[in-house]
Amino acid sequence: MIWDLLGTLYSVIELINLVFILVVLLSGKNPARILSWLLVLYFLPMLGFLLYLFFGINWRRRHIVRKLRATSDWLPETTANNVENPDPQTLEIQKKKSVLTIARVTTRLPVSLRNRVSPLSDTQAIMNALREDILAASHHIHMEFYIWELDDTGKELLLLLVEKAKLGVEIRLIIDGFGSRWVNKKNILRRLDPQGLIKIVCFQPVRLPYINLRANYRNHRKLVVIDGQITYIGGMNIGDEYLGKVPRFGYWRDTMLRIEGEASRSAQTIFFQDWHFISKEKLPRNKSYFPDELGKNLPKTIVQVVPSSPHGNWDTMAQLYFEMIASADTSLYITTPYVIPDEALMMALRTAAMGGTDVKLLIPSKPDRWVSYWATRSYLEEMLLSGIKVYGYDPTRFIHAKVILVDEVLASIGSANLDQRSMNINFELNAMIYNQDVVAEMTRTFEDDLKHSHEITLEMIQKRRFDQAFFQAAARLFSPIL
C-alpha cells in the first residue's frame, strides 16, 4: 500500500516536472537560463519544480514594471536639476566619456560636479560616521537597506532614529521584506517605536514566514540621505555581523562612500522614487529636501549616482560594468564577494587581461552563500589562463565590498556584485567617481587588502580535490539563475 502510494506520488511529481519543463521552454528567457533550469528540473525531479516556483517564475514582474514605469514618469520632476549641463572637460572624463554617457542615458540623472567624497573601508568607522551625521541631522533622515538585523547594532541605530524623531526630524526607512523579515512584524516595531514616529515601508513583504515566492526583484540598495546634503552609498548592511561581531566571519571588510554635495540631489531623487513606488506617496519637491546652491563651496569631484532596476530598455549595471572593463587600458582592480559573469562580461574580462591590462580580482576565501561561492570558483581557471590575477582574502576575515577601479581615473562603489542577479534582477545602486585623488585613495586601500590576501595560482586550481571540482562544476550549471 505504501509503495503504491509512493509510486503514485512520484508519477504525479514527474507529471508536474514535465509541465514545468514545457513552461521553461516557452518562457522566452535567454538560452543559458533555459538550459540551466532544464538541467535543474531533469537532475532534481523531486525538488526542481519547487526551486523554479521560488526562483524561476517572475511572479511579480509585470506588476513591478508597470509601477516602476509610472514612477519613472514622475522622476524628472524630482531631480531639482533639469538643466542639461555640458560635460566637464577633465582628464578623467576625457578618458571615460563612454562610461559617463551610458550612465546618463540609462538613468536620466544629471552629472554632479561639486562634491566632497570620503571612501570609508572600515565598518566601525562607517557606523561611527553615520551616527555622527544622524545626530547632526536637522530636518530629515532617509534610509534604505536590504538587510537590517534587529540585533544589538540594529536596535541601537533604530532607537537613535526614534530619539531624533522625538526632536522633530523626519525619519523614513525603506526595508526589504526578504532581507529584513522583522519589518512585517508590527509588534516588534511597536516595542521599539511605541509612538510610531518613524515611517517605515516594506519593499515586497514576505507574508509567510518560511515560504517566499518573491525571491526575485529584491531591493538590494544601501542608501542614506541626510538633510538633502549628505549621502551614504555602498555595500554595507546594518547588523552585528557587519561590524565583525559574529565569529563565523570575523572582521568584516566593506566599503561605503560618504558624499557631501550635489550628488545628494540624485540620491534623494532615487529615494523619492523608491518611496513612491512602495507607499504611493509623492514627497514634496521643496528646498528642505533639495537645498539650493548645494555644494557651492565644495571641490570639483565628479560623481554620478547610478540606480538599476529590472525594467525599462536597458540593463544599466551590466552595460556599465561591461564598458568599464572594455575601456580599461592600464589597470582594472575589482573587489567583490560574488563573480558570476555572463558570457559577455567574461569575454570582456579575459580580453582586457590578454590585451595587457593589469587585471586583479579580490574575492573572499570563505563563503557566506555556498552555491555562489562554488560558482565563483568555477570561473577562476579560465580567468587565470587569460592572465587575470586572482587573490583570496584572509580566511579569518570576510570581504563584502563591491568596488571597481579603472585606469586610476574611475571608481565604482555600491551594492551591485559582478553576478547576474545584480545585473538583471535586483534593484541596485552604485556611485561612479571620476576623480584621480579619490581613485588613488581607494587604490591604496585595495593594495592594503592584498596584503591580507593570498594569490590564487593556476596550479592551485588545477590541483583542487575532486569534490571541490565537482561542487564547482555543479554550481556553474546554476550560474545563469543565481
Q: Considering the candidates 142, 220, 276, 360, report the single residue annotated as catalytic.
A: 220
Q: Indicate if 139 belongs to the active site.
A: no
The two most distant CA atoms of the chain are separated, in Å, by 82
Active-site residue flag, 227: yes
Between helix 61-74 and helix 263-279 the angle, nearest 10°, is 130
Q: Is the sign of the CA dihedral 417, 419, 421, 424 positive or negative?
A: positive
Residue 176's pLDDT is: 93
In the residue annotation, 164 being an active-site residue is answered as no
In this predicted structure, what is the pLDDT of residue 206?
74
Give domain limits for the chain: 2-56, 62-82+114-299, 316-481
Q: Higher model confidence: residue 28 or residue 95?
A: 95
Say which of 96, 274, 402, 419 is annotated catalytic: 402
Q: What is the pTM of this model?
A: 0.86
In three-state secondary structure terms, 362 is strand
pLDDT, position 474: 77
Planar angle of CA 134, 135, 137, nearest 5 degrees: 65
Per-residue pLDDT band at 479 (split at 50, 70, 90): low
Q: From CA 433, how far away is CA 413, in angstroms rounded?
A: 8
Query: What would the CATH number be for the domain defined by 316-481?
Result: 3.30.870.10
Question: Has residue 170 got a pLDDT over 50?
Answer: yes
In this prediction, residue 434 has a pLDDT band, given cuts at 50, 70 and 90, of very high
Of residues 227, 254, 394, 419, which has the active-site annotation?
227
Beta-bridge mates of residue 335: 362, 403
Q: Which residue in the list 96, 222, 276, 360 is annotated as catalytic? A: 222
Q: How confident is the model at residue 210 (pLDDT cuts 50, 70, 90)?
A: very low
Q: Is the pLDDT of residue 151 over 50?
A: yes
What pLDDT is attached to residue 54? Answer: 56
pLDDT tens digits along 299-318: 999 999 999 987 666 789 99
Structure confidence at residue 82 (pLDDT): 42
Cα–Cα distance for residue pair 63/207, rounded to 1 Å: 17
4 assigned to active site: no
SS3 (DSSP) at 331: strand
Amino acid code (one letter) for 308: S
Active-site hit among 193, 400, 419, 449 = 400
pLDDT-above-90 percentage for the chain = 62
Instruction: Decide if 364 contacts 373 (C-beta within 8 A).
Output: yes
Note the helical H segments in 167-221: 186-192
Locate 419 and state its grid cell. 553576478
Sign of CA dihedral 243, 244, 249, 255: positive
Decide which of 335 and 479 is more confident.
Answer: 335
Amino acid 213: pLDDT: 45
Q: Pinpoint the alpha helices (H) of 61-196.
A: 61-74, 91-95, 97-107, 123-136, 152-166, 186-192
Same topology, domains 62-82+114-299 and 316-481? Answer is yes
Q: Indicate the average pLDDT of the chain.
A: 85
Q: Is 115 helix (H, G, I), strand (E, B) or coil?
A: strand
Which residue has better confidence, 82 or 130?
130
Please state the rounded mean pLDDT for residues 100-126. Answer: 95
pLDDT, one tens digit per residue, over 29-53 is 555 565 565 556 555 565 555 555 5
3-class secondary structure, 367: coil
Q: Which is more confident, 25 or 2?
A: 2
Topology of the domain comprising 62-82+114-299: Endonuclease; Chain A (3.30.870)
Alpha-carbon distance of 96 to 90, in angstroms, equals: 10
Task: Answer yes or no: 407 catalytic.
Answer: yes
Q: How many CB atoms lie within 10 A of CB 245?
A: 16
Strands (E), 187-250: 199-203, 223-226, 230-234
d(CA 269, CA 231): 12
155 carries an active-site annotation: no
Q: How far apart are the C-alpha atoms of 466 and 190, rounded to whole Å?
A: 53
Residue 424: all three cell numbers together: 538583471
Cell reading at 2: 505504501
